[in-house]
Structure 1
Amino acid sequence: MSMTKQKVFDAALTLFNSKGYNGTSVREIAKQANVNIALISYYFDGKKGLLEQLMIYFLEQYIAILSLVFSKKDSMSAKMCLQEIVRNVLIFESENHQLARLVHREVTVDTILIREIMTTYLTKERYILQTIIETGIQNKEFKKLPIMITIAQLKGLMTMPYLQPQYMVEVLHINPVEPYFVTKYFNEIDRWIDEVLCLQNDRVAISHRAVN
């Protein structure tokens, strides 16, 4: 990516996150990036095209993270697949926290662009997570839980800190960008996978109760 395009990306991210997409003008983006306003039309075909490129830039990398783990699913347990996905996604979102916030927020808006993104990217995300969880159930590694609700819970855990960073910092006094948070938060989601999804922990708990 050229330096000019990166400057426009960075400026748009800052303004979209602080003022919202509708509250930001192309002129403001050009001023923030210190570029000629005509360059935004040239590179991105206007504000709408700029938002689309920002979202695709994020989602291409996000799906690549999931797909890489998915390609190794035959040599890993379902639990290991979910662990690797969670760890890598948290690192990616932390390193791209402004972009993550923008994408997670914009996905909640019903537009033609978002519907296309749902079909192109988020349907693939669902397929990957669904297949891993179904494999875990078939292999008696995971409990027979409602798969779509389980996906919603897992996705909520992974995205919440980066969808609502202001809440995390101002109310919970936690900075989701810090490497310490990523490590600690991964450990907590890993515990959720153990306690909510994994059958082994049920057997351990039953055995423990029987002994006592």
Structure 2
Amino acid sequence: MGSNSFFTTKDRIIESAVQLFNQKGFSGTSVREIAKAANVNVAHISYYFNGKGGLMEHLVSRFYEGYLRILEKGYERLHGTTAKDCLLQLIFDILSYQHEHRQLTRFVYREVTIDSTLIREVMSTYLTKEKYILHLIIEKGKENREFSHFPLSHFMIQLKSLLTMPYLQPQYISEVLYLQPHEPYFYRAYYQEVKTWIISLFDRKQEQIAAI
């Protein structure tokens, strides 16, 4: 019972911190405000996270650990399906994961735009793994002639922009696609938009291959 109560306390701190960080920003939120919103003592935040900085590190790591699990599951499918289908399913799973944890996703994506030592250290680890897995999927697609050579770096930048934009620029998504990122249906509808781009890219490459 004791451990369960501790878990509940920690979970309340995390939930309250994410909400406040999204509303007021990381620097604009005090530890006392988090403790009050979570209905816990300030000392609990020090105990579990060693302060606000440790809490932020925990949130960023928590998000990307889950994100990496999605990537790894996507890579496992590569041995039993086409690279195209593997990539599309991976993108759907990422959008689903982001939407399920949309408050945390919003905070993390906004926070990683700030150049700090912590963010650089955390991001270098996760981005390296992400690039590696996407590289493997793309390489299999090239080997199977599903699509021809194209700059992986350009593709990565475009894909990352599409994945993060709903949380960095939700108003733009609303104005251009008439989709509301906070709505339950959003990630499925947005996936269709991203899928259209992916397929058009593959189809374009297939046309180039046929012309050779």
Q: With structure 2 as the length reference, what TM-score do the two structures score?
A: 0.88
1:181 is the counterpart of 2:186: yes
Match 2:95 to one of 78, 84, 90 = 90
Match 2:162 to one of 157, 160, 167 = 157
Counterpart Cα distance in 2 of 1:166 and 1:9: 26
Counterpart for residue 127 of structure 1: 132
Unaligned segments of structure 1, at least 5 residues: 207-212
Unaligned segments of structure 2, at least 5 residues: none
Counterpart for residue 34 of structure 2: 29
Q: Is the 2:148–2:209 contact (alpha carbons within 8 Å) kept by the matching residues of 1?
A: no
Counterpart Cα distance in 1 of 2:49 and 2:130: 26
Structure 2 residue matching 1:75: 3-state secondary structure: coil
Match 1:104 to one of 109, 113, 120 = 109
Counterpart Cα distance in 2 of 1:46 and 1:180: 36
Deviation, 1:167, is 4.8
Change (3 A) 1:174 1:30: same
Counterpart for residue 209 of structure 1: none
1:115 is the counterpart of 2:120: yes
Letter in 2 for 1:47: K
Match 1:53 to one of 58, 65, 68 = 58
Match 1:197 to one of 190, 194, 202 = 202
Counterpart Cα distance in 1 of 2:210 and 2:191: 23
Q: With structure 1 as the length reference, what TM-score do the two structures score?
A: 0.88
Structure 1 residue matching 2:64: 3-state secondary structure: helix
Alignment coverage as a number of residue pairs: 206
Letter in 1 for 2:101: N
Deviation, 1:134, is 2.1
Counterpart Cα distance in 2 of 1:157 and 1:169: 14
Change (3 A) 1:171 1:186: closer
Counterpart Cα distance in 1 of 2:54 and 2:81: 39
Q: Is the 1:104–1:159 contact (alpha carbons within 8 Å) kept by the matching residues of 2?
A: yes
Counterpart Cα distance in 1 of 2:122 and 2:9: 26
Structure 2 residue matching 1:143: 3-state secondary structure: coil
Deviation, 1:89, is 0.7
Counterpart for residue 17 of structure 1: 22
Counterpart for residue 67 of structure 1: 72
Counterpart Cα distance in 2 of 1:149 and 1:204: 20
Q: Is the 1:95–1:177 contact (alpha carbons within 8 Å) kept by the matching residues of 2?
A: no
